[in-house]
Amino acid sequence: MTKQLKQHLDRLLNRFETEKAPTSFSDKPFFINMKKETASLHDLLENWESRALKLIKDRTINVHPHQIVSTKENIEMIILHSYYFDVRRRRYMELQQSSHYICDLILKEL
């Protein structure tokens, strides 16, 4: 799941760098389309969080639970900013780097 999450993060980064911003933040068809495109990612993210927290509880990986929760929140922000472009590139890249770091840490632990 973590590898899949990293692949999604890379796709979102590509979208952030290549796509154009919507004409309006209140564009309902755009929002519905975004919701459809990201539904599977949100499901993956929920499953990833619960599974990672279970691995921490079972002491399989040595990561703090707060890091998992924060990473989930960061990825949710990445999803949103990848479609609406309402954040500076530097902040977006910080979110990406932080999320990749935790994913890499989990993969290393496993």
pLDDT at 23: 75
Segments of the chain with pLDDT less than 70: none
CA nearest to 5, candidates 54, 51, 65 = 51
Question: Could you tell me the domains of the chain?
Answer: 2-18+27-109 (1.20.120.440)
pLDDT at 30: 87
pLDDT at 99: 96
pLDDT at 5: 95
pLDDT at 24: 77
Three-state secondary structure along the chain?
CHHHHHHHHHHHHHHHHHCCCCCCCCCHHHHHHHHHHHHHHHHHHHHHHHHHHHHHHCCCCCCCHHHHHHHHHHHHHHHHHHHHCCCCHHHHHHHHHHHHHHHHHHHHHC
34/70 Cα distance (integer angstroms) = 22
pLDDT at 103: 94
